[in-house]
Every structure is written in C-alpha cells, then in structure tokens.
Amino acid sequence: MATVKETLELLDGLKVLAVTGGDIFADGKINLADLPKLKTLATNYGTLKEAVVGIQDVDDELKDLDSEEIAQIIAKVAEIVAAVKAELAEG
Ligand SMILES: [Ca+2]
C-alpha cells in the first residue's frame, strides 16, 4: 500500500528545525540564551531522527500520490506555515 509516512515525517522534522533552529541562529551565534531552544531540539530528537530514517523512500512516495496523500501533505505544510508564522509573531 502506498503511503506518505516518510514524507510526513520529513516535514515534521523540517517543522522542528524551522521553528527552533531559526531562532537559535537568528542572531548569528549560539549563546546561553539559546539553551532553552537547544533543549527543545533535544526534546524533539525523536522527530528529527524519524525525519532522517527512511528519507530515501520519500522520492518513491511522491511518485504515486493519490488525492488523499496530497491532502495529507498539504495539511502538513499548512501546519508548518502556521507554526512558523506563530513563531515569528512571538518574536
Ligand atoms: Ca522517516
């Protein structure tokens, strides 16, 4: 059965990096103020690991998308955009 499991996991990983990683490097350096962010990254280690494990299957998943899978990916991307927007609004 075709799934987009690996694709969604990859997007989840990108979401963590976009929301947390962007903050860490916002001022161009890593300092003590970034410790809470680094902790968030560590907390999300499982998500980041899943994003990388199986990443080689993403190409195959994207080759045979059906409408439900496309909807899942769009929903995930929208979730990431919302999370990044919220993070930017937070400052
Ligand atoms: Ca994966």
- Say how many Å lie between the CA of residue 52 and the centre of ligand 1: 6
- Say how many Å lie between the CA of residue 33 and the centre of ligand 1: 31
- Say how many Å lie between the CA of residue 55 and the centre of ligand 1: 6
- Say how many Å lie between the CA of residue 91 and the centre of ligand 1: 30
Cβ atoms of residues 62 and 7 within 8 Å = yes
How confident is the prediction along the chain (91 residues), in pLDDT tens digits per residue?
A: 469 999 999 999 999 998 887 777 777 888 888 888 888 889 999 999 999 999 999 999 999 999 999 999 999 999 999 998 998 887 6
Q: Rounded to whole angstroms, what are the CA distances from 28 to 22, 24, 61?
A: 10, 8, 36
* CA 29 – CA 14 distance, rounded (Å): 20
| Location of structure tokens 């999300």 | 44
pLDDT at position 72, please?
97
pLDDT at position 20, please?
86
- Say how many Å lie between the CA of residue 25 and the centre of ligand 1: 25
